[in-house]
Amino acid sequence: MKAKLPLLALLATTCGVTAANWPGFRYDGLGISPEKSAPVKWSATENVRWRVVLPDAGNSSPIVWGNRVFITQAQGEKRSVVCFDRTNGKQLWQQSVSYAEKDDTHETNPHASPTPVTDGTRVIAWFGSAGVVCHDLAGKELWRRDLGKQKHQWGYGSSPVLFQDLCLLHFGSGTRTFLIALDKKTGEKIWQVDLPETDPPVRYDGFAGKQGQPIGSWSTPLILRGQRDEVVLSIVGEVRGFDPKTGRELWRADGLSPLVYTSAIVGEGVVFGSGGFGGSTLAIKAGGSGDLSNQKLWHVQKEKKNRISSGIIHKGHVFLCNMDGVAQCIELTTGKDKWQERLKGNGAKGEIWGSTVVVGENIYVMNQSGETFVFKANPEKLELVSVNPLNELSNSTLAISDGELFIRTSKTLWCISERK
C-alpha cells in the first residue's frame, strides 16, 4: 500500500514531440515548454505576425503541429475543428458536426471549450454531447464516437489527451461522469471507469452550509510516463491515479472540494491538486499505491481563493494565478505561502481563467482583458517582466511553438512573433 517507485520514473512525462510542436492543452498538461525563449513584449500592433478574426467566442486553446495551428470553435449548432497555416493565418480547412438538441452550459463557457490534441497524424476533439471526432491533418474525418448526453448547467471543458494508441477523456461533469479510453485509430472503446459525483455531507467551500448546490470537475487528465505509467485526475472530492492501459485504479487521496476547475499537476515527485470557489488544496508524494488520504504532505481544507487557472511546478515551488488576478507562490512540499501579489494591468477585467505556461524562467498568463503577464519564476517575490495588451476578452491558455506565441481571444486568433 505504501510502495514507492523510483523518483526518476515519476519525473518522466509526455515524449515523442519536438520543441516546435505544441500538441495539446498546456503542451503535455504540465505547462512547461521545452523551448528556451519566447517573445516577452507585444501588443495589438507590435510583434504581430498575423491575426485572424474568429466567427464567435470560445475558450479552447490553440495547438500547433508543424505548419498547422488547430482550434475548436462553436457557432450555433455547429461544433468545429478549424485548421490554419501557421505562417500566415490562412484557414486551410474546417470540419463540423452539428448538435441540435438543448445543450446546457454557462454563458461564460461557450461550447467546444475543450482544447483538441494531436500526435502529428490525427487531431481529436471532444464536443460534449456532440461526441468525439477524429480527423487527419488534411481535414478528412477518420472516425467519430457518440458518448451520449453530457448534461451540466455549466457545460463541459476537459480536454482529450493521448497515451500510446489511446485517447483518454474525462467525460463530465454532470449526471454521467467517467474516464474513458478510446482507440485513437478507430474510436473503439477500450475501457471506461465510472466516476459518479455525489454531494458531500458537509460543504466547506464557497457553498459552505448549503446542500444541493452545483458540484463537478472540469479537470483534464494528466499522463505520466515512466517505470509505471499513470493517469492523474482531479475529480469531485479526490485526486486519483489510474493505469492508462486498463483503467485500474492505482491510488486515491481525498481532501479536494466538490468543485474542481483546475487540473492536477505533478513535478519533483509531488502531486498537487486544487479545488475551486474557496475550496481545498493538497499535495502528496507521487508513486504511491492504495488509499493515500492519510499520507498527504500538506492539506489546506478551505482556501480563501477561487482557482480556475492551473499552476506550474518549478524548482521546489508552485506558481499559481487565482481567479481574482492575484499571483501566488507556494512551497511545494510544505504548502508554505511565499508571496501573493496582484497582477496589475490597464484593462477593465482583471480576472484570470487561462492557465499558466513557463518558458525557461518566464511564466506567462493572460487575464480576461487579453493582457498577458510575463513574470519570473522567482520564489522570493513577484518579478514582473512585462504586461502585453491585446484588449480583447480571453479565457484561454497560450501555446508556444518555435519561438512564437499563439493566442486565442474571444474574437481573434493571434500569432505573436519577433521575426520579420
Interval 255-302: pLDDT, tens = 999 999 999 999 999 999 999 998 899 999 999 999 999 999 999 988
Q: What is the dihedral of CA 204, 210, 211, 213, to 10 degrees?
A: -90
pLDDT for the residue 19: 56
Comparing 243-257, 293-307, 308-322, 397-411, which segment has the lowest mean pLDDT? 293-307
pLDDT for the residue 10: 39
- Answer for the pair 129, 144: CB distance below 8 angstroms, yes or no: no
Q: How confident is the model at residue 212 (pLDDT cuts 50, 70, 90)?
A: confident
DSSP state, residue 66: T
Model pLDDT for residues 136-174, shown as the tens digit of each residue: 999 999 999 999 999 999 999 999 999 999 999 999 999
Mean pLDDT over residues 62-80, rounded? Answer: 97
- Average model confidence (pLDDT) for the chain? 93
Residue 3 has pLDDT above 60, yes or no: no
**Which percentage of the chain shows pLDDT scores above 70?**
95
- Answer for the pair 361, 375: CB distance below 8 angstroms, yes or no: no
**What H or E segment, with its residue span, contains residue 299?**
strand 296-300
Q: Record the pTM.
A: 0.94
Mean pLDDT over residues 61-83, rounded? Answer: 97
Model pLDDT for residues 345-390, shown as the tens digit of each residue: 999 999 999 999 999 999 999 999 999 999 999 999 999 999 999 9
pLDDT for the residue 396: 97
Q: How far is 377 from 317, CA to CA, in rounded Å?
A: 9
Mean pLDDT over residues 190-203, rounded? Answer: 92
Q: How confident is the model at residue 202 (pLDDT cuts 50, 70, 90)?
A: confident
Mention every residue, 6+ apart, whose C-beta is less than 8 A from residue 47. 39, 41, 416, 417, 418
Residue 5 has pLDDT above 50, yes or no: no
Q: How far is 405 from 320, CA to CA, in rounded Å?
A: 21
pLDDT for the residue 199: 86
pLDDT for the residue 200: 86
pLDDT for the residue 8: 34
Q: How confident is the model at residue 17 (pLDDT cuts 50, 70, 90)?
A: low
Q: How far is 6 from 287, CA to CA, in rounded Å?
A: 8
